[in-house]
Amino acid sequence: MRRGGVGGWIRAEIARSPLAYGSLLVLAVSFLAYANTLDAGFHFDDEHHVLANPFLRDLRYLPQYFHRPDLFSALPGHAMYRPMVLVSFALDYRWGGYEPLAWRLTAIALHSLCAVGVFLTAAAAAARLMPRPSRARTRGPLVAALLFAAHPALTETVNYASARAALLAATFVVWAFLFHVLAAGRRSVAARASLVLLSIVLFALGLLSKEIAIVFPALLLVAAWLEGRGYLAALPAVAVAVLYLLLRREVLGTAVVDFAARAQAVAAADPGSGGARTILDNLWTQARVVPAYVCLLLWPQGLCIHRHVRESHSPLEPGVLLGLAVIATLLVAALRLRRRGPVLALGILWFLAALGPESSLIPLNQVMNEHRLYLPAIGFAIAAAALLSQRAARPAAVVQVSSAAPALEFARAPFALPAMPVAAATIAILLALTWQRNEDWRDPARIWASAVEVSPESSGAWNALGVQLRAKGDLAGATAAFGKARDLAPSEWAPPFNLGTIHLDRGRSRGDYADLKEAERWLLESLRVRPGSERSRWYLAETWHAMGRIEKAEDEFRSLAGLSPQLFEMTRFALARIALDRERYDDAEKLYREALDRGRDPVSAILGLADLELKRGNREKALLHAHLAIERNPRAPEPHVFLARALKGTSLAAHHMFEAQRKGYRFSEEERRRILEGR
């Protein structure tokens, strides 16, 4: 054993490969931070992005993700061009269905990879912009990356499947930036070209994950400005960004923002689509939001998934002036630090640039969202690394007691007492807060209950709490929450829509005409708030169908059919149900076959044909159709649900119920008993 024993050998090994061992430590802390979320489920928008989205359940759709933004959601009108998010969702479903473990491991692995990227990027930037001894270059970035890995303000991005876009984009961007910095230091033309190519590919993948990655060329220009050279090296990234905008215009019809639609939303005062805020009003409001984000990073208390933020209408409001002063102070500090602290300046400008697209001119649905902090938090971590590295690089303090006495030296390294215990204690506290916040994320109702506690004026939080209470079967609590949401924001569409659908479900299950009339009233109110809403019109047609106003329902479904290919397919099923109610079996078969031939969800169409054969009394043919649906998509739970219901009371029913549950379907206790007992 070498001198110093095991401890000395460990220190020598770490000193030999500090980046490798530091990366392992960051990975370990990242996984530890989210180790209590491996069984956490899905939340809110995950319902239509993930759980109800049939296009994630078959990898044959994968090429279409790159040119069909309508596949992003099961709902019409929610098209987004983020194909890499769909790819990651489809792979998660392929590996584990809707069991949470695969989805959680993917999110935690991406967060860990991003945290390692933060560590290596901060170290590389320090080496490039402010050469220091290796110990000073790695210790600060290591602590900063650990703070990033354990920070509770980032829990929304890691725990919320619908925030996967921000997680992917940030991970691709930080690694793209790292390879760009590494390329600048290579003398070999081949090595430099390979690293640049890898950086550009990662940037392109970031753009295909979320639009926020468009800030990457700006980050490269910031780095070039700080170094005083290398501006032309950003040109390939600029070219890729331009190509991406052209691709967006081709796929979505607009490269950046549809300003005509934005003006229409403002005129309609529709908060659900980011309306009711002009561009200037949004700018003044966001001036107050940016300091709030800084406060969340410095003091992560009062975390909230849906926060109410009062709108500002003038730059002269005290809160707006304070926010603008904070932003100006950060910009001036970055300018002054260009020579003395370029890495700190890089972190500040990264933070502001990454916030810019989502916290400036363009009014988004929510004024403030914690998952928007994920990419800016990398800049915050780089700034923290710079501060810690500067602390490490300071010379020791020398105190001369007297001319005859020897000088006393006091080390100022960050890992000397008391800095090391402070850093370790801070990381431990952040880990504890993250674990505590993770407990909220494990229960969808609890996360929204915490939201209304932190932000009781948030109509969106009350509405989402109602959705979760409804899913738990607490219809009275859900109705009260929806009513509270409507009282807070009478001009919002979601509360009356949800009140309408809850009365529709109750009216159908009880056969209560009064509930159906209430459903009609609330759905008509939602249409007054958002005229032409496809979802409101759809459920209004469903309500009329339940009320026995068949012709009116049929006319409404037929008028919806021409609005989009997705609605055309959906209306085939609705019209087929009406035909089945009228015992017009041939018409129903024709409609199901239209859905099968022209639609995108063959499993639902085949199961519709199976249901039709049951109505005709052809049980064996119905079972054959159900097995054909399994062949078309072996990972879909719906065919097993159909077979469990069709074979209730048999051992095969129990088998198919187990298979449906294994693939993500959740039976109610009442339905489980009915199937097992054959009732």
The pLDDT of residue 6:
56
- Please tell me the distance from the alpha carbon of residue 648 to that of residue 185, in angstroms, as a whole number: 68
Asked if 88 contacts 168 with a C-beta cutoff of 8 angstroms, the reply is yes
- Please tell me the distance from the alpha carbon of residue 265 to that of residue 268, in angstroms, as a whole number: 5
Task: Say what the alpha-carbon torsion angle 653, 659, 660, 662 is, to the nearest 10 degrees.
Answer: 150
Cβ partners under 8 Å of residue 409, min gap 6: 396, 397, 398, 399
- Please tell me the distance from the alpha carbon of residue 523 to that of residue 507, in angstroms, as a whole number: 14
This prediction's pTM: 0.83
Nearest CA to 423 out of 433, 413, 434, 436 is that of 413
Question: Among the residues of 151-188, which ranges form H helices?
Answer: 155-159, 164-184
Among left, alpha and beta (phi > 0; psi -120 to 50; other), residue 583 is left
Taking residue 423's Cβ as centre, other Cβ atoms within 10 Å add up to 20
Token digits for 176? 């793209």
- Please tell me the distance from the alpha carbon of residue 261 to that of residue 288, in angstroms, as a whole number: 26
Asked if 541 contacts 556 with a C-beta cutoff of 8 angstroms, the reply is yes
- Please tell me the distance from the alpha carbon of residue 60 to that of residue 344, in angstroms, as a whole number: 47
- Please tell me the distance from the alpha carbon of residue 119 to that of residue 168, in angstroms, as a whole number: 17
Calculate Rg over the CA atoms of the chain. 28
The pLDDT of residue 1:
45
Largest CA distance in the chain: 110
Cβ partners under 8 Å of residue 637, min gap 6: 97, 98, 659, 660, 661, 663, 664, 665
The pLDDT of residue 391:
62
**In degrees rounded to 5, what are phi and psi of residue 410?**
-120, 115
Cβ partners under 8 Å of residue 639, min gap 6: 603, 606, 607, 626, 627, 629, 630, 633
Secondary structure element (H or E) that encloses residue 409, with its range: strand 408-410
The pLDDT of residue 407:
40
Token digits for 395? 């010379």
Asked if 99 contacts 664 with a C-beta cutoff of 8 angstroms, the reply is yes
Question: Among the residues of 370-492, which ranges form H helices?
Answer: 374-393, 419-441, 444-454, 459-471, 475-488
The pLDDT of residue 272:
43
| Mean pLDDT, the chain cut into blocks of 10 residues (679 residues total) | 56 72 94 94 87 86 92 83 95 89 95 96 87 62 93 96 95 97 88 94 97 96 92 94 94 68 49 62 92 93 91 93 95 93 93 90 84 95 82 48 40 44 86 95 92 94 93 91 94 94 92 92 95 92 93 92 82 89 89 85 88 89 91 86 88 87 79 82
Asked if 38 contacts 105 with a C-beta cutoff of 8 angstroms, the reply is yes
- Please tell me the distance from the alpha carbon of residue 295 to that of residue 298, in angstroms, as a whole number: 5
Nearest CA to 29 out of 105, 106, 116 is that of 116
| Residue 399 β-bridge partners | 408
Q: Give 13-22's long-range contacts (Cβ < 8 A, gap of 24+).
A: 18/134, 18/135, 18/138, 19/119, 19/120, 19/123, 19/138, 22/119, 22/138, 22/141, 22/142, 22/145
Token digits for 665? 């379907």
CA distances from 75 to 23, 51, 71, 416, 565 (A): 41, 12, 9, 56, 12
- Please tell me the distance from the alpha carbon of residue 595 to that of residue 200, in angstroms, as a whole number: 41
Token digits for 64? 């279409």
Nearest CA to 178 out of 107, 123, 239, 233 is that of 123
| 3-state SS track over 310-339 | CCCCCCCCHHHHHHHHHHHHHHHHHHHHHH
- Please tell me the distance from the alpha carbon of residue 60 to that of residue 68, in angstroms, as a whole number: 13
CA distances from 477 to 474, 506, 526 (A): 5, 14, 21
